[in-house]
């Protein structure tokens, strides 16, 4: 028989009144990075510079809040060994870090002037990040719904 603390679900170390902070922050960078992909597509169709500006602002906001979400995610990951033992946690963290780094590179690509700031490298990077976020989101829901991370009994 396992000790009582082993039967409990993995807890979110960084929480406010029992609500995981990571789960509260993650929707913001996801929305920003998906929005940057959409504005990149629109820019590639219209060549209106305003869409390029929207993209870089969305990338900057996504990087800022994504960095905060990553810090809180690290606190959760290293704060409870049961979270680290959940197999999707490693992939979820790695994919999110890759998406953040690619978005940082994308922000530098978008800082160039004109058409080459978006087409084709920026558009491709934005698309890859969105695909990575889909996989990471799937793994994140698995952590919550299958492994009970951050869910009270």
Residue 23: the pLDDT is 92
Check if the beta carbon of residue 28 is closer than 8 Å to that of residue 67: no
Using a pLDDT cut of 70, give the percent of the chain over it: 93
Whether the CA torsion 14, 17, 20, 21 is positive or negative: it is negative
Q: What is the pLDDT of residue 153?
A: 59
pLDDT digits (tens, 9 = 90+) for 52-103: 999 999 999 999 999 999 999 999 999 999 889 998 999 999 999 999 999 9
Q: Please list the residues that pair with 16 across neighbouring strands.
A: 19
**Cα–Cα distance for residue pair 55/110, rounded to 1 Å:** 8
Domain chopping of the chain, boundaries: 19-145
Question: pTM for this one?
Answer: 0.90
């Amino acid at each position: 028989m396992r000790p009582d603390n082993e039967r409990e679900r993995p807890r979110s170390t960084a929480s406010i009144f029992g609500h995981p902070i990571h789960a509260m922050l993650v929707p913001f960078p996801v929305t920003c990075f998906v929005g940057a992909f959409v504005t990149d597509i629109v820019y590639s169709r219209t060549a209106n510079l305003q869409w390029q500006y929207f993209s870089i602002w969305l990338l900057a906001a996504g990087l800022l809040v994504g960095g905060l979400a990553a810090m809180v995610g690290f606190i959760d990951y290293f704060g409870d060994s049961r979270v680290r033992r959940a197999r999707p946690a490693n992939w979820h963290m790695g994919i999110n870090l890759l998406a953040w780094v690619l978005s940082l590179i994308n922000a530098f690509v978008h800082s160039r002037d004109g058409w080459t700031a978006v087409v084709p490298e920026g558009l491709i990077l934005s698309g890859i990040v969105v695909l990575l976020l889909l996989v990471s989101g799937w793994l994140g829901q698995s952590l919550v719904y299958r492994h009970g991370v951050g869910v009270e009994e």
